[in-house]
Every structure is written in C-alpha cells, then in structure tokens.
Amino acid sequence: MVLLKVLAVLAVIIFLLRRRAPVSVAMLAGILALGLAFSPSVGRFVQATWLSASDPRTLDLMAVVALVLILSHLLHESGQFKRMMEALGGVVTSSRVRLAAMPALIGLLPMPGGARFSAPMVEAAGDGMGLNAHRLSLINYWYRHIWEYSWPLYPGILLASEFLPAGGVLSLSIAQFPLTLTAVIAGLIFVLPHDLPKASLAPKTSGRRRAAIRDLIVNASPIFVVVLVFGGMSVLADAAGMAGANRPQWIPKNLPMTVGLVTASAVVILLNRMGLTPVGNYAFRRPDLAKMMLMVLSVFVFAGLFKHLGASKQLGEYLRAAEIPPVAVAVALPFAIGLLTSVTYVYVALAFPLVVALVPNGGDPRPFLVLAFCFGFLGCLFSPLHLCLLLTKEYFQADFKPIYRDLIAPIAMVAAAGVVLFLLLR
C-alpha cells in the first residue's frame, strides 16, 4: 500500500510536468498529494509544510542558488562567459572535450543548482555545431554531475562516510572513484556527439597557446575563487573544531560556499568595472530570480514533507517486512528516495541507517554503502525534481522526453559499474 502511495504521488508530478505545467504548479500538486497520502490531519500537514519551508537548511540553500544565478548573470552580462569559451577553444582542440570541460569544471563546486551556472558555457561552446536543445541539456546535466560520486567536498559523500566503521571521507572517495571514471566514459559513448567538427579556435603557435591559457585562467578566475574560498574556509572550520556535527547552529551550513560566491561575484564586478546596477536589475526587475527561488522552495518543501510525514520511514519498513535481501534494499530504497526527493544527502540520511542495519552480523557495510550511494545518486539523476535538471531544461527550453530517453544508457552503464564494484569490494 505504501509503495502504491509513493508511486501515485510521483505520477501526479510527472503527469503535470509532461503536460508542460509550471514546475511550481506541479510541485504544489505533488505536495498536496503527499499530504493526502501520508498526513493524518490537516494540522499535521500544515505543521510539516512550515517546518520544511522554514528549515534553515532550506533557506540556506535558496540563498546559495540565488547567488549562483547572480554570478552566472554577471558572467554572462559582462561577456566573461564568451571570453572564457574563446580561451578554452584556444587551449583545447577537441570540440567534444570543450563541450564536456566546462560543466565538469563547475561540477567540482558543490553548489545547488550549479548546472544553471554551466548552462551558458555549454551553449557558447556548442554555438555553430548544430546541436539541439535536448542534446545541450543532456551534456550539461551529465557532465555537471560526474564528480558527485567521489568528490570529497560534496555533502553526500561527507555524510555517507559517517556510516563507515573505519576510515573516513577519503577512504569512501577512493572506493567510489571508479564510478566517476565510468560516468566520464559513459558520457563519451552515449552523451557527447561523435560527429562534431574540429575546433576552429586552436592556436597555430605556442605564443598564442600561452596567451589562450593566460586568458582562460583570468576569465575562469571566479570559479577558482569559489573553490579556493570554499576549500579554505572548510579547512579552517575543521581545524577550529567547528565543522560537521561541531558546527554552531548559528553558522549557516553553506557559509563557505556563500562567501565564495559573493567573493567571486565581486571579482567579476571589479574585472569588468560593472558596478552594482546589474545585480540590482537582475534581483528586483526581472522575474527570473523569483521564479527560480519558488522552484527551489517547492522542491525542498516536498523533500522535507517526505521525511516529516514519515513517507520514507514507511517505505523502508515495507521493504523490510517483505523480507527483501539487503542487496535489494541497498538498491531499491536509496533509488526510490533519490527519485522522489532528488537530494543526495536526503537519501543518504534516510536510507543508509536501514542499509547498515540490514547488513548480516559481522559483515562489512562498505560494499552495501557504495552500492546504495551509486543507486541513490542515479535515482537523483533520473528524478524529474532534480534542481539541476529543472534549471537546465528551463535554460535551454528543452523537453523532458528526449532527455530521459538518452539518460537511460549512461545511467545503466554506471549502475552496472556499481554492481561490479560491490562484488569486488565484498
């Protein structure tokens, strides 16, 4: 019964999205359907909705996404995106590598909605290549997420490492790095076109190449600033004993990323002598930012309700009562939660305790956790609620159907790699 409820809620959202309803409308319908299916009373539903909407983590993430959009807007308006692509074309001669390079570079930044940051870069890199909207969306979406299986700066990796009986985040990152390599290879086979023209901007002299490298470093400097500020503040917080569970509640979890994005925006403004007018115009005179904020809020309210109304707990209990083997639970439960919430740390927090509890006594949980992380993240990638998918689709004005059709093969390849890795680790 609980499985049918969960599938029905997801069906409502997918139906409306396929009917081209605004994302906020589809999510509102999904929120109401979730309340009807799992809430014992209207009062409980209202309380859970308020808890989800007012959660400091939700507001923190909304602030980060807003700053991502502002930084992206500044880079676009200043022409720095175009200069970055021109410089990359002078360094990289392969058109396929250029298309994948920028979203992959942005993927090193653990920022919500980062695909919206890289979308204009992919659009500029693909200019004149005859690529349609769904292919550009697919390239941006896939390569934006190749690092999330193993990059130790991602919250999902950090949280998952807490369930290991020995070792830490580095140990888990190394164990799961083959998944990142598989994602890169799957992208080369199934995502990137094979018949692209050779890049026309390749320099003919070493002097031009050095100049292109210099221009790339300068124009990509805001990205490096975000990484350096985020990494530096995170290291300092850890050294001061103020990271993870020791972080004071009054310090926003994403403060290092927030400071990094603000600093990077300041770098763009100073490099291009823009002033603050473009920021004000984008924030207050255009509907883009408000529209995206509403989308983010609706996604995280749904994810919060899924937890607060006990839907994830009931789903886990159902799978356990059915006496499904631990391997099946490690595959099905994270995938289902990832599919429904689209948030990595949610499926880790909700599914991993159950996966560990179902591991046979004396067994090593590492293989099961790696398998669970792989399938949970694949569920997130395939989720119609995934913020990066929604932002990418909105930017390129693409349809869901061809994107999902072409996601099946690379996702299946990574899933197969996850199973092989599970067997090797056992």
Segment 314-323 shows an average pLDDT of 73
H or E element that contains 402? helix 400-425
The pLDDT tens digits of the residues spanning 377-393 come to 999 999 988 888 988 98
Residue 179 predicted with pLDDT over 60: yes
Predicted confidence band of residue 110 (pLDDT cuts 50, 70, 90): low
Max avg pLDDT among 230-244, 285-299, 334-348: 334-348
* Residue 203 pLDDT greater than 60, yes or no: no
pLDDT band at residue 111, thresholds of 50, 70 and 90?
Answer: low
Residue 352 phi, psi dihedral angles, 5° rounding: -65, -40
Residue showing tokens 């509102």: 28
- The CA distance from 329 to 398, in Å, is 34
Residue 400 CB: number of other CB atoms within 10 A?
17
The pLDDT mean for the chain works out to: 82
Q: How confident is the model at residue 341 (pLDDT cuts 50, 70, 90)?
A: confident
Of 1-15, 248-262, 403-417, where does the model show the most confidence? Answer: 403-417
378 with 414: CB under 8 angstroms?
A: yes
Q: Among 262, 268, 257, which residue's Cα sits nearest to residue 222?
A: 268
Confidence of residue 27 (pLDDT cuts 50, 70, 90): confident
Structure tokens at 362: 């004396």
What's the pLDDT tens digit per position in 121-162? Answer: 788 778 778 889 999 999 999 999 999 998 876 778 877 877
What's the whole-model pTM score?
A: 0.68
The dihedral through the CA atoms of 166, 111, 104, 379 has a sign that is positive
* Domain chopping of the chain, boundaries: 2-425
Helices (H) and strands (E) in the chain, counts: 21, 0
The Cβ-side half-sphere exposure at 374, using a 13 Å CA radius, reads: 32
Q: Which of 200-214, 220-234, 360-374 has the lowest mean pLDDT?
A: 200-214
Q: What is the identity of the amino acid at 173?
A: S
Contact (Cβ atoms closer than 8 angstroms) between residue 387 and residue 113: yes
Question: If you ran DSSP here, which 8-state letter would residue 197 be given?
Answer: P
